[in-house]
């Protein structure tokens, strides 16, 4: 089936979004770029856990890193919001608005 790879990509994206900690990370990074330590402090989890969650989000293409001196700052990718919206729209199509 030609649709299968697309469904698998969607499942990977939604799996990355399927954690309250990862959603918290995305929310924090939606406001500003932050390092692991700052994310850990804001979310009340260990730096190790944050690093593991960031790896999942980076692999999903939602987060990027930028080394600044001895710190690595994380931010949302430029298309993170659009990718999430498009993924949701692809599984729950919007109703036609031609009824107006």
99 within some domain: no
Looking at the domain assignment, is residue 81 inside a domain? Answer: yes
Spell out the residues 6+ positions from residue 46 whose beta carbon is closer than 8 angstroms to its own.
40
Q: Per the domain annotation, does 60 fall within a domain?
A: yes
Does this model's pTM top 0.75? My answer is: yes
Task: Report how far apart, in Å, the C-alpha atoms of 99 and of each of 17, 74, 95 are.
Answer: 34, 44, 10
Q: Are strands 71-76 and 34-35 parallel, antiparallel or unpaired?
A: antiparallel
Output the pLDDT for position 91. 84
Long-range contacts of 51-55 (CB under 8 A, 24+ apart): 53/19, 53/21, 53/22, 53/25, 54/25
97 inside domain: no
> Domain limits at 50?
4-87
CATH code, domain with 47:
1.10.10.10
Mean pLDDT by 10 residues, the chain (100 residues): 75 93 97 97 97 96 94 95 90 64
What value, to the nearest 5°, has the Cα angle with vertex 54 and ends 51 and 55? 90
Is position 72 within any domain?
A: yes
In this prediction, residue 49 carries a pLDDT of 98
How much is the pLDDT for 90? 86
């Amino acid at each position: 089936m030609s649709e299968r790879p697309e469904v698998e990509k969607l499942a990977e994206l939604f799996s990355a979004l399927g954690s309250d900690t990862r959603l918290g990370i995305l929310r924090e990074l939606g406001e500003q770029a932050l390092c692991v330590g700052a994310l850990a402090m804001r979310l009340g989890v260990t730096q190790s856990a944050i690093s593991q969650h960031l790896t999942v989000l980076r692999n999903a293409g939602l987060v990027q890193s930028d080394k600044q001196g001895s710190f690595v700052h994380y931010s949302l990718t430029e298309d993170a919001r659009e990718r999430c919206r498009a993924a949701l729209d692809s599984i729950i199509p919007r109703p036609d608005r031609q009824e107006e």
